[in-house]
């Protein structure tokens, strides 16, 4: 009985993770944001003029040169940044708790909630900078953890 319950919970975790990760990729064409998205695409095309988002603009510019600067392409870029940020958090969580199924479940739930509530498929300051914010936070948390060990 215990083994069946464990298999069922793992299957649920995989299903939620899959739905959470794939839903923004399928929903990227929905919704209209006529104000901010075109402006963001212009910023990406000339990222040196917007120093507050230099790194995300540079990365988006590389993406745009490879896949085009169209709205759909930039939405896929925004979704990719958000998913990479989320997977980075999940990897850090796994390094702390060493429970892969729990991390998978939490990542799937977060991706699903973010896509449904926050609409992270839209191109904007938040979508393109979240990856860098998350990576910086992970580096800071790792540094703090090391100071606790050796301090």
pLDDT at res. 68 = 95
pLDDT at res. 87 = 92
Average pLDDT over residues 103-132: 77
- Confidence label for 26 from pLDDT (cuts 50, 70 and 90): confident
N-terminal to C-terminal alpha carbon distance within the chain = 46
Task: Round to whole Å and give the CA distance between 85 and 4.
Answer: 33
Q: Where are the domains of the chain?
A: 2-23+33-150
pLDDT at res. 112 = 80
Give the largest CA-CA distance in the chain.
62
pLDDT tens per residue across span 54-106: 788 888 899 999 999 998 898 888 888 888 988 999 999 999 999 999 999 99
Choose among 52, 50, 30: nearest CA to 42.
50
- Confidence label for 49 from pLDDT (cuts 50, 70 and 90): confident
Long-range contacts of the stretch 86-91 (C-beta < 8 A, 24+): 86/110, 86/111, 86/114, 88/131, 88/134, 88/135, 88/138, 89/134, 89/138
Instruction: Report residue 11 as tokens.
Output: 């299957």
pLDDT top residue among 1 and 88: 88
Q: What is the pTM of this model?
A: 0.82
pLDDT top residue among 147 and 141: 141
Choose among 57, 63, 28: nearest CA to 43.
57
Average pLDDT over residues 41-60: 79
pLDDT top residue among 116 and 125: 125
């Amino acid at each position: 009985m215990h083994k069946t319950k464990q298999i069922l919970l793992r299957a649920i975790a995989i299903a939620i993770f899959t739905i959470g990760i794939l839903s923004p990729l399928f929903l990227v064409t929905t919704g209209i944001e006529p104000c901010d998205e075109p402006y963001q695409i212009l910023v990406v095309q000339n990222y040196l003029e917007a120093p507050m988002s230099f790194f995300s603009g540079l990365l988006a510019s590389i993406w745009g040169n490879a896949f085009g600067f169209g709205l759909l392409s930039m939405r896929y870029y925004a979704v990719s940044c958000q998913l990479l940020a989320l997977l980075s958090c999940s990897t850090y969580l796994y390094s702390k708790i060493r429970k892969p199924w729990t991390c998978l479940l939490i990542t799937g739930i977060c991706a699903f909630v973010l896509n449904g509530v926050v609409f992270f498929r839209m191109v904007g300051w938040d979508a393109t900078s979240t990856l860098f914010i998350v990576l910086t936070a992970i580096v800071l948390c790792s540094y703090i953890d090391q100071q606790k060990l050796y301090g």
